[in-house]
């Protein structure tokens, strides 16, 4: 099991056009944030949670956190800045070989089985890996007029999901190098790749959806109810 969980939850969710950030919308009577933390806790009850929240967050309540050990941190402007707050905090707390799992708060449908599957797959790896799903749609690259420039062969292409799990020392080096090179990491793996490592793609469920648009909330509710039957 991982020693540390970093959950970036400082997004303002502007694409949802909702009155509050998407992590506080209700999914079966509980906030998305509470649902996501519950899944992580079911899988890894003894881990320490680092929860990265917006400084002006008005919706968070400590009762949403099921972990015995957890720490609230201040997120930043971009997802990478919020995760960085967690990585920086770990400098005084983690061992280089410790496992750190980073999971988007907006992915409440991740299953306990997938969480355990990821950890089992990377357990003896020196670097780490992530949950991912093979691309099933045909992919198009656009030209300047938003017409098709070309079809990108989907063979061998994956969608990067979360959690992404890496050794603390690897993540620390990746975040440091990305800052120096001004490389924008959209996920942890991309930073680790820049170091020359090849993270493991661990096949995860394709219903591990990231709530992004308004219609995704109802879809997430359906996925959760289907997973219970």
User: Which residues lie near ligand C5P (CB under 6 A)?
Assistant: 8-11, 23, 52, 75-79, 82, 104-106, 210, 212
- All residues at 6 or more sequence positions from 38 whose CB lies less than 8 Å from its CB, including other chains: 30, 66
- Quick one: 58 or 155, whose CB is closer to ligand C5P? 58
- Quick one: 125 or 210, whose CB is closer to ligand C5P? 210
Q: What is the DSSP letter of 176?
A: H
The distance of closest approach from Cβ of residue 229 to ligand C5P in the complex, given in angstroms and rounded to an integer, is 27
Does the CA dihedral 178-181-186-187 come out positive or negative? negative
The distance of closest approach from Cβ of residue 101 to ligand C5P in the complex, given in angstroms and rounded to an integer, is 13
Q: SS3 string of 35-103?
A: HHHHHHHHHCCCCEEEEEECCCCCCCCHHHCCCCCEEEEECCCCHHHHHHHHHHHHCCCCCCCCEEEEC
The distance of closest approach from Cβ of residue 36 to ligand C5P in the complex, given in angstroms and rounded to an integer, is 8
The distance of closest approach from Cβ of residue 93 to ligand C5P in the complex, given in angstroms and rounded to an integer, is 20
Q: What is the DSSP letter of 8?
A: E
- Quick one: 104 or 173, whose CB is closer to ligand C5P? 104
- Quick one: 43 or 83, whose CB is closer to ligand C5P? 83
The distance of closest approach from Cβ of residue 124 to ligand C5P in the complex, given in angstroms and rounded to an integer, is 29
The distance of closest approach from Cβ of residue 160 to ligand C5P in the complex, given in angstroms and rounded to an integer, is 12
CA atoms within 13 A on the CB side of 10: 24
Question: Could you give the residue ranges of the DSSP H alpha helices within 152-197?
Answer: 168-181, 188-194
- All residues at 6 or more sequence positions from 223 whose CB lies less than 8 Å from its CB, including other chains: 109, 207, 209
- Quick one: 39 or 79, whose CB is closer to ligand C5P? 79
- Quick one: 105 or 201, whose CB is closer to ligand C5P? 105
CA dihedral 179, 193, 155, 121 (to 10 degrees): -120
């Amino acid at each position: 099991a991982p020693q540390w969980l970093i959950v970036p939850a400082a997004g303002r969710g502007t694409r949802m056009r909702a009155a509050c950030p998407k992590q506080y919308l209700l999914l079966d009577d509980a906030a998305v944030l509470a649902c996501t933390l519950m899944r992580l806790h079911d899988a890894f009850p003894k881990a320490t949670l680092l929860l990265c929240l917006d400084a002006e967050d008005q919706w968070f309540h400590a009762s949403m956190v099921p972990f015995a050990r957890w720490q609230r941190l201040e997120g930043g402007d971009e997802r990478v800045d919020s995760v960085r707050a967690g990585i920086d905090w770990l400098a005084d707390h983690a061992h280089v070989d410790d496992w750190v799992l980073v999971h988007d708060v907006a992915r409440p449908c991740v299953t306990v089985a997938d969480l355990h599957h990821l950890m089992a797959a990377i357990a003896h790896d020196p670097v780490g890996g992530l949950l991912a799903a093979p691309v099933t749609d045909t992919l198009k690259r656009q030209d300047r007029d938003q017409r098709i420039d070309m079809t990108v062969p989907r063979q061998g292409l994956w969608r990067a999901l979360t959690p992404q799990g890496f050794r603390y020392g690897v993540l620390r080096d990746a975040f440091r190098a990305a800052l120096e090179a001004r490389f924008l990491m959209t996920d942890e793996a991309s930073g680790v790749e820049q170091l020359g490592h090849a993270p493991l793609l661990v096949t995860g469920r394709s219903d591990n959806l990231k709530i992004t648009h308004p219609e995704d909330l109802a879809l997430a509710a359906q996925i959760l109810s289907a997973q219970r039957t």
